[in-house]
Structure 1
Amino acid sequence: MPVVATPDFTISQHTEPGGVLRVCLAGEFDMSIGDALAGVLVAAAGRPDVTRVLVDLERTLLIDSHAVAGLVRGYEVATAAQREFVVINGRGMVQQVLDVTGLAEVLCRRA
Structure 2
Amino acid sequence: MPVVTTPPFTISSHETPTGLLRVSLSGEFDMSVGDALSRALVDAARRPGVTRVIVDLEHTRLIDSHAVAGLVAGYEAAAAVGRGFTVVNGGGLVQQVLDVTGLSEVLCEQP
Task: Give the Cα–Cα distance (whole angstroms) in 2 for the partners of residues 28 and 16 of structure 1.
Answer: 26
Q: Which structure 2 residues correspond to residues 1-111 of structure 1 after superposition, within 5 A?
A: 2-109=2-109
Unaligned runs of 5+ in 2: none
Task: Give the Cα–Cα distance (whole angstroms) in 1 for the partners of residues 46 and 71 of structure 2.
Answer: 14
TM-score by length of 1: 0.96
Runs ≥4 in structure 1, deviation > 3 angstroms? none
- Number of residue pairs the alignment of both structures matches: 110
Following superposition, the deviation at residue 16 of structure 1 comes to: 1.9
Following superposition, the deviation at residue 80 of structure 1 comes to: 0.5
Task: Give the Cα–Cα distance (whole angstroms) in 2 for the partners of residues 71 and 18 of structure 1.
Answer: 23
Give the match's secondary structure for 1:48: coil
1:19-51 residue CA offsets vs partner (Å, 9 max, x unmatched): 000000000000000000000000000012100
Give the match's secondary structure for 1:18: coil
Q: Which amino acid aligns with 1:34?
A: G
Give the match's secondary structure for 2:73: helix
Task: Give the Cα–Cα distance (whole angstroms) in 1 for the partners of residues 26 and 71 of structure 2.
Answer: 14
Following superposition, the deviation at residue 18 of structure 1 comes to: 1.6
1:37-80 residue CA offsets vs partner (Å, 9 max, x unmatched): 00000000001210000000000000000000000000000000
Task: Give the Cα–Cα distance (whole angstroms) in 2 for the partners of residues 88 and 10 of structure 1.
Answer: 16
Give the match's secondary structure for 1:68: helix
